[in-house]
Amino acid sequence: MRDPISFIRLEYEDLVQSDLDWRIKVLDGSSTPWSIVNGKKVMMLCSNNYLGLSNHPHLKEMAIEAVRTHGAGSGSVRPIAGTMDVHVELERRLAKFKDAEASLVYQTGFAANAGLIPQLAGKGDLIVSDELNHGSIIDGVRLSAADRAVYKHCDMNDLDRILAESERHAPAYRRILIITDGVFSMDGDIAPVDVISRLAAEHGAMLYVDDAHGEGVLGEGGRGIVSHFHLGRNDVHVEMGTFSKAFGVVGGHVSGSEDLKNFALNKSRTWLLSGSHPPAVAAACIGAIDVLENEPHHVRNLWLRTDKFKKGLVQAGFDVGNSATPITPVMIGDSGKAKRFSDRLFEEGVFALPIVFPMVAKGKARIRTIMNAALTEEDLDLALERFERVGRELKIV
């Protein structure tokens, strides 16, 4: 008799043979600039914890106090009995921080994209998406019955062409939704959202920007992509983001009009049918907003460290692609060599993971580094020396 689940082992073995499997490492303790990973003290260069806020005293105090006053869990989904005053306060503070009419907090950033995108566009509509958009956007689009078109990465001529062709579609589309990442998570480049918003206006399209890697990084005081390009709320209709990166906690959210919030909370099944954040999580997210508003040096330090590290890699002969943010890929190409590079760095005390297919195209493997504001100048000098040493050893530079 045929084994109905034998394919699981066989496909995993194929991944191992192709150097495409993930080998999970475990942190012993908190995520800090120097962390204990698999029992070894290493410099952390692959965390999304850009500003080091996951271990900030104020966030921890806020979380602890919320447990004391509100308990360990919310007890329900948001629309039934799972909305606490701390969730409402978080949304109020976030909307103010983002200079938006309203914000809605989702359980994760993935849940925001998967829950809202298919509700904004369906049968009779068109979704136009950048070819390098995040997997959560891709899955959200797949859940929609809308027609879909993909434009070349950050190619505004191609986007304009698709939008012009869409206007000749018969029958006419009810709605057109353009979706792009603000910062592309594998390459660190920034979408030209100012141009995209102009094209959206010219063609009567909605614009949805996933700003997961822009919040806490770009814009005034880390307010994100809309602030970075000095755009208004009529320019970007949906600004989606997460608390799991520069904010140092976890969760997703969207910001925009009051109408958007009301629409999203009534239509997104990921929001309607998932338990709400424990009060400690919501309170820690409020704490992160406090820090961004009152301690601007974290964002400044992030960019100072980023500039130093990026310049050092280039001077050593590495290819860092088109990165314009603290996400700096070190392009390797071959998946096996990228994994060997990562393993050697780990042996040398630097934790920086390889990114391989399917997260990037085959032949585009890289070591993706992400800067942390709490690293010191001496830390970066050490990291650059180790990168150059291993790069020469593996004949990459």
Q: Which token pair is 127? A: 């979704």
Distance between CA atoms of residues 380 and 88, nearest Å: 40
Domain identity same for 261 and 373: no
pLDDT of 22:
81
Residue 7 lies in a domain: no
DSSP-derived letter for residue 182 is S
Q: Kindly state the average pLDDT of the residues 114-120.
A: 98
Distance between CA atoms of residues 244 and 105, nearest Å: 12
Distance between CA atoms of residues 131 and 244, nearest Å: 24
Distance between CA atoms of residues 68 and 73, nearest Å: 11
CATH of the domain at 117: 3.40.640.10
Is pLDDT at 13 greater than 80 in this prediction?
A: yes
**Count of structural domains within the chain:** 2
* pLDDT higher at 23 or 52: 52
Domain identity same for 301 and 290: no
* Residue 219 Cα distances to 153, 231, 362, angstroms: 22, 11, 33
CATH of the domain at 30: 3.90.1150.10
Residue 288 lies in a domain: yes
- pTM above threshold 0.85: yes
pLDDT of 21:
83
Q: Kindly state the average pLDDT of the residues 385-390.
A: 97
Residue 4 lies in a domain: no
> Active-site residues: which are they?
185, 213, 245
What is the span of the domain harbouring residue 380? 19-48+297-393
Domain identity same for 234 and 302: no
Residue 62 lies in a domain: yes
Is pLDDT at 170 greater than 90 in this prediction?
A: yes
Residue 289 lies in a domain: yes
Q: Kindly state the average pLDDT of the residues 50-65.
A: 97
pLDDT, the chain, mean:
96
> Which residues, at least 6 apart from 159, have a Cβ–Cβ distance to it below 8 Å?
128, 151, 178, 196, 199
Q: What is the pLDDT of residues 298-325, one digit of tens each?
A: 999 999 999 999 999 999 999 999 999 9
Residue 1 lies in a domain: no
Domain identity same for 210 and 333: no
Distance between CA atoms of residues 255 and 309, nearest Å: 33
Distance between CA atoms of residues 185 and 250, nearest Å: 17
Which of residues 294, 324, 358 is at a domain's end?
294
**SS3 label, residue 81:** helix
pLDDT of 97:
97
Q: What is the pLDDT of residues 253-268, one digit of tens each?
A: 999 999 999 999 999 9
Q: Where would I find the beta strands (DSSP E) of the chain?
A: 34-37, 40-44, 102-106, 126-130, 147-151, 176-181, 206-210, 238-242, 252-256, 327-333, 350-351, 354-355, 365-370
**Bridge partners (DSSP) listed for residue 254:** 104, 240
Is pLDDT at 19 greater than 80 in this prediction?
A: no
Q: What is the pLDDT of residues 174-230, one digit of tens each?
A: 999 999 999 999 999 999 999 999 999 999 999 999 999 999 999 999 999 999 999
Domain identity same for 25 and 172: no
Q: Which token pair is 199? A: 């094209």
pLDDT of 376:
96
Q: Kindly state the average pLDDT of the residues 129-156.
A: 97
